[in-house]
Amino acid sequence: MVLNLTANQQYLRVLNRCTVFEEISKNGALSRADLQKKTGLTATAISNIVGDLLRNRLIIEYDGGMSTGGRPPKLLDVDKIHWGVLGVDIDPAIVTVGLMDLKGTIIALRSKKLADSDINNVADIVKELATDVSRDSNRKVLAAGVGIPGWVYPKTQVVAFAPNLNWKDVDLKFCLNEKLQIPVYLDNEANVTAMGEGWAGCAQNIDNFIAVNFRTGVGSGIVIDGLIYRGISGSSGEIGHITVDEGGRRCSCGNYGCLETIASTPAICERFKKKKGDMHMAVDVKVIADSAKSGDHIALEVLRDTGKYIGIAFSMAVNLLNPQLVILGGDAVEYGEIILPEIEQSMRSKALSTSVNSCSVKISSLGKTAPVVGAGILALQSHLSNII
């Protein structure tokens, strides 16, 4: 489990509640005694937490437990029918909204291209998509989680800076609260991606990993001992701004040779078009990946070159953080299998063997839905944090 928490006085109470809820959500049909064994919590703690969850009708209780000599125990499961959460993924190119049940399963998913990043336009699109995914559902939506390609002030939830959206000090939370009329919680899109991977992806039961999103930009969510690592100013994980090519192209951040200038989706498409000699051709990474699989030498060259530089950046991250897993996500799911050998070779040639030998690189099992799933889990955990 990956938690969107900081270690303060509230931490232990919320951690225990989220832990119990996750056990019920993922396993179902558990008795209080089962929960005590799985979590290591005391019977009193389990009783109090289960009482809170039942009182708020987030879980249900029913007969059916096996008797060991006395009265058969009551079993607990998540209410999968009456409640839902929204996961919102805002990318500079597209907005995606998913309706999820309390097990973290996507029930409905809608997307719309984003031509204008004006905050009111973005809020209107989110409202439109949220209405679409909820139209045929009788669920009461508890909250919405939103992944933003930028930095969010933890206390105020104001978007401090989202360069690819041209946002600075933007109060998207207020706009969405007004539009959706439910609690809204924001975080960096790479952080919510990590939360999604930890809940339902290839990082389940892994407490130390990095989830890297390759899209309009390149960012990573860092998980250390089961918690999102944010850094002192909340801007950790900017792997896209590691210099991997001294003397390379100028980046939007002002530096030169950043990973983002090579491995972001626009950078890959631009290099492909340039090598093809046609800067006006319509192309996306799926087209490039399909071309590479068909033997197109230019597509293969562009992607393998990209993999080499990704491996350089990963070697630095692995040396510094010693994770068990690094996840390739976002648009990289289209071409990940092609570049994985280059990433591995480049990473292993530059990272310390003590670090790299205990680390694997995998392609996201959630595909491009990881930020939506993670944003929904952000909403769910935030709701669990606030119930009385």
d(CA 188, CA 3): 14
Q: On the CB side of 289, how many CA atoms lie within 13 Å of its CA?
A: 15
- In the numeric block, the tokens 């630095």 are attached to 316
All residues at 6 or more sequence positions from 70 whose CB lies less than 8 Å from its CB, including other chains = none
d(CA 315, CA 312): 5
- What is the reported pTM? 0.92
Determine which helix (DSSP H) or strand (DSSP E) holds 316, and give its type and residue range: helix 297-321
In the predicted model, what is the mean pLDDT of residues 124-133? 98
Amino acid (one-letter) located at 201: G
Distances (CA, A) of 100 to 109, 134, 148, 286, 373: 9, 10, 19, 27, 8
In the chain, ranges of CATH 3.30.420.40 domains: 83-194+370-386, 204-365
Residue 386 has pLDDT above 70, yes or no: yes
Amino acid (one-letter) located at 191: N
DSSP character for 154? T
In the predicted model, what is the mean pLDDT of residues 98-102? 97
Fold of 204-365: Nucleotidyltransferase; domain 5 (3.30.420)
Which of 288, 324, 333 is closest to 193 using CA atoms? Answer: 333
pLDDT for res 71: 74
In the predicted model, what is the mean pLDDT of residues 324-338? 97
Dmax over CA atoms of the chain, in Å, equals 78
pLDDT for res 341: 97
- Least confident range from 14-18, 130-134, 177-181, 187-191: namely 14-18
Instruction: With cut-offs at 50, 70 and 90, classify the pLDDT of residue 6.
Output: low
DSSP character for 79? -
360: number of Cβ within 10 Å: 15
d(CA 99, CA 101): 7
pLDDT for res 123: 97
Helix (H, G, I), strand (E, B) or coil at 146: strand
278 CB burial (10 A radius; 0-12, 13-18, 19+): exposed
d(CA 231, CA 228): 9
pLDDT for res 8: 57
Q: What are phi and psi of 220, to 5 degrees?
A: -135, 145
Residues facing 144 on adjacent strands:
86, 184
Determine which helix (DSSP H) or strand (DSSP E) holds 13, and give its type and residue range: helix 11-27
Using left for φ > 0, alpha for ψ between -120 and 50, and beta otherwise, residue 358 falls in: alpha
pLDDT for res 112: 98
- In the numeric block, the tokens 């056990």 are attached to 23
Residue 353 has pLDDT above 70, yes or no: yes
Q: Quick check: 355 and 320 in contact, CB under 8 A?
A: no
Q: How big is the CA angle at 212 (ends 206 and 215), to the nearest 5 degrees?
A: 150
In the chain, ranges of CATH 1.10.10.10 domains: 11-78
pLDDT in tens, 196-245: 999 999 999 999 999 999 999 999 999 999 999 999 888 899 999 999 99
**Architecture of the 11-78 domain:** Orthogonal Bundle (1.10)
Burial state string for 283-292 with b = 16 or more CB within 10 A and e = fewer than 16: bebebbbebb
CATH superfamily of domain region 83-194+370-386: ATPase, nucleotide binding domain (3.30.420.40)
